[in-house]
Chain A
Amino acid sequence: MGVAVTCRRVVHIYRVEATDVVALAGVDLTIGPGEMVALVGPSGSGKSTLIALLAGLMRPAAGRIDVGRYDLGRLSDAELHRLRGTEIGVVLQGAERNLLPYATVERNIWLAQRRVAATKGVELEDPERILDLVGLAGQARVRAGALPRAAQQRAALAVGVAAGPGLLLVDEPTSQLDTDGRDRALVALETLNATRGTTVVVVTHDLAVGARIGRVVTIRDGRVGSEGRDGQDFAVVAGDGTVQLPPEVLGEFPPGTLFAVDHADGSVRLQSDGHD
């Protein structure tokens, strides 16, 4: 079953050669159990950082992240490590980074199941069935390094869900894939989401991928800039009350532009200085 994800005013700062770089500047995001969400945005906007925080690979400088019933900020490193082996599945950008190329696909899945095998003691899901879900039926004995790139990506997805996580975090699952490969990967994700109810968060540059997933959260300058649902874009009110203007709108209003705000009948009207 999928788990809910909640981010509240999440801030993350990298320290690079004695300089602080704000990667996330107060992200507020709520993802329901079993929901599929695409995180989009330009390079450096903070998408991958947010994924890493959701995976418990890094800890936020401020704010709170809940994954299911866990407040990640309160968990120890060991508990986060265990969580990644059970509740959270991570698929890193670049399929080859998720796989041991010299091992068979089946062995890769088997290895990804070690934690859950050790902690729950439950019967593990058959690798063949997992591969069937991602469209790689009959490929279990194939060496991961020998698979075509598109198949490798789906094998990476299979490894990511091998432990049966409630949350699957996928970083750029369609990069470097052709259209067919992209579609196969998306089908695999949709199948996983549909059959298991797994909550899926996908980071992508590809707006078409986002459109297919349905809910698209745009990260801009370390914040949630906007959100699109079913083809319609929405501005999002952040926890601190701020709302980002769409980029195409912002182009007309340089920083420092003053707006008059009219709020009536459930709508908000911004009237800039110098405009009627």
Chain B
Amino acid sequence: MTRLVIAQLVARWPQAVLLVVLSAAATAAAVSAGVYAGAADREVIAAELAAADRTELFVAYGPHRREWSVVPAADPASALLGELDGFAAVTTVQLPVRHEAADATDQLVARQDLCAYVVVREGRCPVANREVVLSPAAAAAAGVRPGDELVLTPAADPAGEIAAGPAAGFTVVGLVEAADRHDPYWGPHRDVADEAIYTTANSIARLEHGTELVTVVAVLDPAYLSAATLPAVRADLDRVWREAARLSEPGSDPPLSSGIPQLLDRIDDNRDRVRQLLPVAAVPLVALCWFVVYLAAGYAAGSRRPELGAVAVRGAPARARLVLAGGELALPVLVGVPVGVAAGQAVVSVAAGQAVVSVAAGQAVVAAGGGAPVAPAQWAAAGVALVGSLVAVALGLRRELAVPAVTLLRWVSPRPRRWVLATAEVLVVALAVAAVLQARARDGEPVGVSVLAPALVMAAVAVLVARIAWPMVGLAGRLALRRGRLGPAMAAVHLSRAPATTRLLVVVAVALGMLGFAAVAADVAGQHRAEHAERAVGAARVLEVRQVDRMQLLDAVRRADPEGRYAMAAVVSSGAAGQPSMLAVDTTRLAQVAGWRAEYGEPAPGQLADLLRPPVPESLPVRDGTVAVELSLPDGARPGSTVLSMALVSTGGERMAVRFGPVSGSRNVYQADVRGCAHGCRLAYLSLSVTGDGPAAVIWHGVEQDGRDLVPAGWRGGTWPLVRERDAERMVVEAGGGGLTVTVPQARRGAFYRVLPPDTPHPLPVAAAYDLPDGSVAGVDGQPVAVTPVARLAGLPRLGDTGMLMDLEYAERTATASGATGSSEVWLATDAPADLVERLEAEGLVVTAERTVAGLRELLDGSGPAVALRYHLLAAGLAVAVTLAALGQAALADRRVWTVSLRRLRVQGVSRRTVTVTALWSYGGLVALGTAAGMAAAGVGWLVTGHRLPLGGDSLPLAEPLPLVWPQPAPVLVPWLAAVATLFAAAAVAGWWQRGAVDRKVVR
């Protein structure tokens, strides 16, 4: 029998080759999901590492106190963290020292491996005892240069007031700067690099002092983190936490801190999402391959009916019939398995490998992809694919093996029973409905049959289209016949009557549907990620700067960009529990700089800026020099018990208070010297305090400097808001008595009763992306501030739909304290000049991080759903390739059956042109119908199931489904039309080939 099977394979090698291809495709599809999952793991890990905050790359133990000794005691933290696989432990010892010459307190620090992580600007690194290095800034502050000596006295307190040891001289041997401030090597003390005095561990050990602070940081090696090592890293961290808890005092938390668990959680979430989404494309692809193998087996068996009949009529045993019928089909299927395993790995390696490199550029982790040995799971998947393909072959052969010999001797296959077809169609539709219902019930989580929801819906649509199309094709054929168009008529008859065409139509439709669905999903998800990146970043480019006073930030940015077109100061505060996040920006530049999306709603950013920054009276200006304030007490007030202060704030944000009083009874002028207002100050508020509990009151008549009345004309009759004290509601401010009368019925000693001047926007206008009632919220300084919503927006840059926006300068006027809160940022416009960052740095801002929309988009492209969607596209491409093979099988089968009929017609006088038209219309018509059905399938599949799959996730809302939005035409249509064109080309080739076969035989 083997020789016979070999003879069959030799005789019908094109069919065997196509079967090898189909089996390989099924195997590759089954294997590729696993291979891709592995590659996706690498990509996801690389992307998450790239996106990780530096705190997510180390574990820090400490700082904890340790008593000094010449021979340092073994530190349990070093032992604990030093043995972690994949981590490098860095021990830092520091102690406060008093630098007598500079009258300052510094930190003397010994950091392990320091010299590998700094750039030496001048001199060299410390190697010997009593050698130190500083940053250039710290050296300038201390007034030293390399070669100078620093006399440092160990201190027992941070203020350096209590000496903990004798003074010692240290030689400054160099000036250094951190090579990379973001390197996790610096652990939780990133800024120390600029401010500390660095020496060797031996120097600190030999310096007599009291207690020292020890911090051990275990820095994760990014190259170590992989899917294989993730569980071990988790287990190690858990163990470290348990051990640290055991070492710490009962009832107290261990001094451990790390963001690594959050990083691992995100990686696991993304990996889970990939594994959830891969089967959505892989399973239908494998099923499609099996279905095409089934069709191919059916075609092959159908076209060999006489041959099988000849064997059956000889009474051949069942085994011989089985081998003869199935051998030449099963053998290529078997051969296709190793081919498919190799192809699956190769295709994924190429597709995923490139993607990984693009996403993880600059990262230590880059996917290797190819060359890896085949994992047992992949062999198992290949085994499943093989079994499925063999079952498909058996199903395709079942009729030819089961029917009597006399049936096989008839040339034409009997049509399948109608109820069988109807049952199959109803089953497909019912499964599609069940899958959609399950997807709805599970809220989009792809489990059970809902994994197949898109494919089933597309198959159901294809089946229904075929059900409608064939009668219409038959009708069109009859009409064509009446009009004398024989070619199209014969093609229509062939299409509408041949049972296999329905199945082939379903294959074409499902493959094109898969491609359309994947292209739409990929594009919509891409748009979603791009929009998310725009929202999340806020502007084209956002510089995170070292935390700086809010007014300094505002002032520096305005000076660096005096035109107000390219840069905008911003302060972002994460809301505390129950409080919305807050974004305070220089709204004078909002329209020019912020990435404002239409979806945020009205008003436009320019109008919004006007609403957030309504006109207010001009401020009360104060400069350096003597300020004279005229005060008096109202009737009944106690003389000598009330003090009035003027809180001034400079343009750089520095605040100072100028005291006047205690106020005597009569109207008097009180004078005070002001310093720190060389560039001008404004009155932030008036503050009233008392020397003893009881009622208090004062009348503020005015303020002069150098003989000028400083009170702006616009203040007359203006509102003086009362704020910030628990007893503020019991405070009364009224104009009268020739000035402003401030009365506190029950003043307490030590309390400050503040009155804001009329140039304070009160209540503060805010725009909220939620329903914010009138009232108070935490302001820029974290203190409650009265606000009034002036706009209700659907979203805000950076904050999304949960925050509020306010003007930074106005918000600062409502603050009672200067300082730095939240995240200090500078937002840059797309067309910001290249030197703007330098100008900002020249104004004293230190850029610590940078985010761009493109950069975030690139990182999001490495998220689980994005990676999985690329596999969907890959699978769809494979599905189209499989469809080409199915067309080839159909053409081969037709050549043995349909061609004979055409040949007879040709002999009877049908023209060559008619035969050509028939052949071309036949395959072309099938592809045309399949294209229409595929388009319908993709559309319906997307509308019904697309937005229920968690395809839109990213590092924030990972399981977020995609919004139902229109895709961009080009990214969807280009691959889709390319596939359609390929199928039409294949149909034309098949038709031409068929015509040629007819013609050759006739001529011969």
Interface residues of A (CB under 8 A from B): 52, 55, 57-58, 77, 81-86, 90, 92, 97-103, 107, 111-112, 114-115, 118, 159, 162-163
Contact between chains at B4 and A85 (CB < 8 Å): no
Binds A, one of B265-273, B302-310, B495-503, B520-528: B302-310
Partner of B7, one of A57, A90, A92, A103: A103
- Range of interface residues on B (Cβ < 8 Å): 20 to 34
Contact between chains at A114 and B406 (CB < 8 Å): no
Contact between chains at A103 and B4 (CB < 8 Å): yes
Binds A, one of B19-27, B30-38, B315-323: B315-323
Across the interface, name the chain A residue whose C-beta is closest to B304. A100
Using Cβ atoms and an 8 Å threshold, which residues of chain B touch A97?
A: 306, 309-310, 409
A selection of 27 A-B contacts at a CB cut-off of 8 Å is A55-B313, A57-B404, A57-B405, A57-B406, A81-B312, A81-B405, A84-B314, A84-B315, A85-B315, A85-B317, A86-B315, A90-B314, A97-B310, A100-B7, A100-B307, A100-B311, A101-B11, A102-B7, A102-B11, A103-B3, A103-B4, A111-B311, A111-B320, A112-B314, A115-B314, A118-B317, A163-B315
Interface residues of B (CB under 8 A from A): 3-4, 7-8, 10-12, 306-307, 309-317, 320, 324, 404-406, 409
Across the interface, name the chain A residue whose C-beta is closest to B312. A81
Closest beta carbon of chain B to A226's beta carbon, Å: 28
Closest beta carbon of chain A to B418's beta carbon, Å: 15
Using Cβ atoms and an 8 Å threshold, which residues of chain B touch A82?
A: 315
Cα distance A169–B7 in the bound complex, in angstroms: 28
Cα distance A98–B8 in the bound complex, in angstroms: 16
Cα distance A32–B570 in the bound complex, in angstroms: 112
Using Cβ atoms and an 8 Å threshold, which residues of chain B touch A55?
A: 313
Cα distance A112–B409 in the bound complex, in angstroms: 16
Across the interface, name the chain A residue whose C-beta is closest to B320. A114
Partner of B10, one of A92, A99, A102, A163: A102
Using Cβ atoms and an 8 Å threshold, which residues of chain B touch A115?
A: 314-317
Q: With A84-B315, A114-B320 as known contacts, state yes or no: A107 contacts B309, CB within 8 Å.
A: no
Cα distance A84–B315 in the bound complex, in angstroms: 5
Using Cβ atoms and an 8 Å threshold, which residues of chain B touch A103?
A: 3-4, 7
Across the interface, name the chain A residue whose C-beta is closest to B407. A57
Using Cβ atoms and an 8 Å threshold, which residues of chain B touch A101?
A: 11
Partner of B313, one of A84, A86, A100, A102: A84
Using Cβ atoms and an 8 Å threshold, which residues of chain A touch B409?
A: 57, 92, 97
Most chain A beta carbons < 10 A, residue from B3, B306, B313: B313
Contact between chains at A81 and B315 (CB < 8 Å): yes
Sort A-B residue pairs by CB-CB distance and give the 6 closest, nearest first: A85-B315, A102-B11, A84-B315, A57-B406, A115-B315, A112-B314
Contact between chains at A111 and B11 (CB < 8 Å): no
Partner of B316, one of A77, A98, A114: A114
Using Cβ atoms and an 8 Å threshold, which residues of chain B touch A86?
A: 315
Contact between chains at A100 and B310 (CB < 8 Å): yes
Using Cβ atoms and an 8 Å threshold, which residues of chain A touch B7?
A: 100, 102-103, 107
Cα distance A208–B316 in the bound complex, in angstroms: 34
Using Cβ atoms and an 8 Å threshold, which residues of chain B touch A99?
A: 310
Contact between chains at A83 and B4 (CB < 8 Å): no
Across the interface, name the chain A residue whose C-beta is closest to B409. A92
Closest beta carbon of chain B to A158's beta carbon, Å: 12
Using Cβ atoms and an 8 Å threshold, which residues of chain A touch B404?
A: 57, 77
Cα distance A77–B402 in the bound complex, in angstroms: 12
Using Cβ atoms and an 8 Å threshold, which residues of chain A touch B324?
A: 111
Contact between chains at B315 and A102 (CB < 8 Å): no
Contact between chains at A85 and B316 (CB < 8 Å): yes
Contact between chains at B4 and A111 (CB < 8 Å): yes
Beyond the given pairs A82-B315, A92-B409, A97-B306, 5 more chain A to chain B contacts, judged by CB atoms under 8 angstroms and listed by A's residue number, are A77-B404, A90-B314, A97-B409, A111-B4, A111-B320
Across the interface, name the chain A residue whose C-beta is closest to B405. A57
Closest beta carbon of chain A to B71's beta carbon, Å: 91
Cα distance A21–B553 in the bound complex, in angstroms: 102
Across the interface, name the chain B residue whose C-beta is closest to A57. B406
Closest beta carbon of chain A to B13's beta carbon, Å: 11
Most chain A beta carbons < 10 A, residue from B10, B12, B315, B316: B315
Closest beta carbon of chain B to A238's beta carbon, Å: 26
Cα distance A99–B405 in the bound complex, in angstroms: 15
Cα distance A103–B328 in the bound complex, in angstroms: 13
Using Cβ atoms and an 8 Å threshold, which residues of chain B touch A102?
A: 7-8, 10-12
Closest beta carbon of chain B to A130's beta carbon, Å: 14
Contact between chains at A111 and B306 (CB < 8 Å): no
Using Cβ atoms and an 8 Å threshold, which residues of chain B touch A83?
A: 315
Cα distance A55–B315 in the bound complex, in angstroms: 11
Cα distance A29–B306 in the bound complex, in angstroms: 30
Using Cβ atoms and an 8 Å threshold, which residues of chain A touch B310?
A: 92, 97-100
Partner of B314, one of A107, A118, A163: A163
Using Cβ atoms and an 8 Å threshold, which residues of chain A touch B307?
A: 100
Cα distance A82–B313 in the bound complex, in angstroms: 10
Across the interface, name the chain B residue whose C-beta is closest to A99. B310
Q: With A99-B310, A102-B8 as known contacts, state yes or no: A111 contacts B316, CB within 8 Å.
A: yes
Closest beta carbon of chain B to A116's beta carbon, Å: 8
Using Cβ atoms and an 8 Å threshold, which residues of chain B touch A98?
A: 310
Cα distance A90–B7 in the bound complex, in angstroms: 24
Using Cβ atoms and an 8 Å threshold, which residues of chain A touch B309?
A: 97
Using Cβ atoms and an 8 Å threshold, which residues of chain A touch B3?
A: 103, 107
Using Cβ atoms and an 8 Å threshold, which residues of chain A touch B317?
A: 85, 114-115, 118
Across the interface, name the chain B residue whose C-beta is closest to A58. B406
Q: With A102-B10, A102-B11 as known contacts, state yes or no: A52 contacts B406, CB within 8 Å.
A: yes
Using Cβ atoms and an 8 Å threshold, which residues of chain A touch B314?
A: 84-85, 90, 111-112, 114-115, 159, 162-163
Cα distance A85–B306 in the bound complex, in angstroms: 17
Closest beta carbon of chain B to A71's beta carbon, Å: 18
Contact between chains at A107 and B4 (CB < 8 Å): yes
Cα distance A111–B4 in the bound complex, in angstroms: 9
Cα distance A9–B239 in the bound complex, in angstroms: 95
Closest beta carbon of chain B to A62's beta carbon, Å: 18
Cα distance A99–B313 in the bound complex, in angstroms: 11
Closest beta carbon of chain B to A99's beta carbon, Å: 7
Across the interface, name the chain B residue whose C-beta is closest to A81. B315
Cα distance A81–B405 in the bound complex, in angstroms: 9
Across the interface, name the chain B residue whose C-beta is closest to A89. B314
Most chain A beta carbons < 10 A, residue from B4, B12, B306: B4
Most chain B beta carbons < 10 A, residue from A57, A86, A118, A159: A57
Across the interface, name the chain A residue whose C-beta is closest to B9. A102
Using Cβ atoms and an 8 Å threshold, which residues of chain B touch A92?
A: 310, 313, 409
Cα distance A55–B309 in the bound complex, in angstroms: 13
Closest beta carbon of chain A to B59's beta carbon, Å: 71
Contact between chains at B4 and A57 (CB < 8 Å): no
Most chain A beta carbons < 10 A, residue from B10, B309, B316: B316
Partner of A90, one of B8, B12, B313: B313
Across the interface, name the chain A residue whose C-beta is closest to B311. A111
Across the interface, name the chain A residue whose C-beta is closest to B321. A114
Most chain B beta carbons < 10 A, residue from A84, A101, A163: A84
Closest beta carbon of chain B to A100's beta carbon, Å: 6
Closest beta carbon of chain B to A194's beta carbon, Å: 24
Across the interface, name the chain A residue whose C-beta is closest to B411. A97
Across the interface, name the chain A residue whose C-beta is closest to B10. A102
Using Cβ atoms and an 8 Å threshold, which residues of chain A touch B10?
A: 102
Using Cβ atoms and an 8 Å threshold, which residues of chain B touch A162?
A: 314
Closest beta carbon of chain B to A264's beta carbon, Å: 48
Using Cβ atoms and an 8 Å threshold, which residues of chain A touch B406?
A: 52, 57-58
Using Cβ atoms and an 8 Å threshold, which residues of chain A touch B311?
A: 100, 111
Cα distance A114–B1 in the bound complex, in angstroms: 10
Cα distance A85–B314 in the bound complex, in angstroms: 5
Contact between chains at B315 and A100 (CB < 8 Å): no
Cα distance A163–B314 in the bound complex, in angstroms: 9
Using Cβ atoms and an 8 Å threshold, which residues of chain B touch A85?
A: 314-317
Cα distance A97–B306 in the bound complex, in angstroms: 6
Closest beta carbon of chain A to B552's beta carbon, Å: 90
Contact between chains at B313 and A57 (CB < 8 Å): yes
Using Cβ atoms and an 8 Å threshold, which residues of chain A touch B12?
A: 102
Closest beta carbon of chain A to B874's beta carbon, Å: 38
